[in-house]
Amino acid sequence: MISGTKRIRLAVVGAHLRSQPLNHQLTDLGAEFVRSARTGPLYRLYELDAATPPKPGLLRFASGEGAKIRVEVWELNSENFGAFMENVSAPLCIGTIELEDGKSVKGFLCEAHVIPAAKDITEF
């Protein structure tokens, strides 16, 4: 890594977790596992039927309407973050996620228009 290169923290769920089928998209770009965490109680998790491999979608709700969702936080340099973004396709997107400890990191979110047809899997 070039000295002074900006590092970006990214929260992932589902297929990008360690030992899951898309984790290599992170590790191939030199991403490093930072820690397991949970989101603040602001999110719900949905099963996205059309995704292959199956992927969940995380959607933010108003305070009191969500739950704490388990995530993994990874870190990669900004150049490789841009390369990683090439693999992210709709209805998934990258936004800012609030963690249980109050810190914010970039992370996978889901476009709201797919939620009416998706199954809520927050409890799992």
Please check whether residue 60 is in contact with residue 46, taking contact to mean a CB–CB distance below 8 angstroms: no
For residue range 58-116, list pLDDT tens digits in order: 999 987 889 999 999 999 999 999 999 998 989 999 999 999 999 999 999 999 999 88
End-to-end CA, the chain: 38
pLDDT at 55 (0 to 100): 84
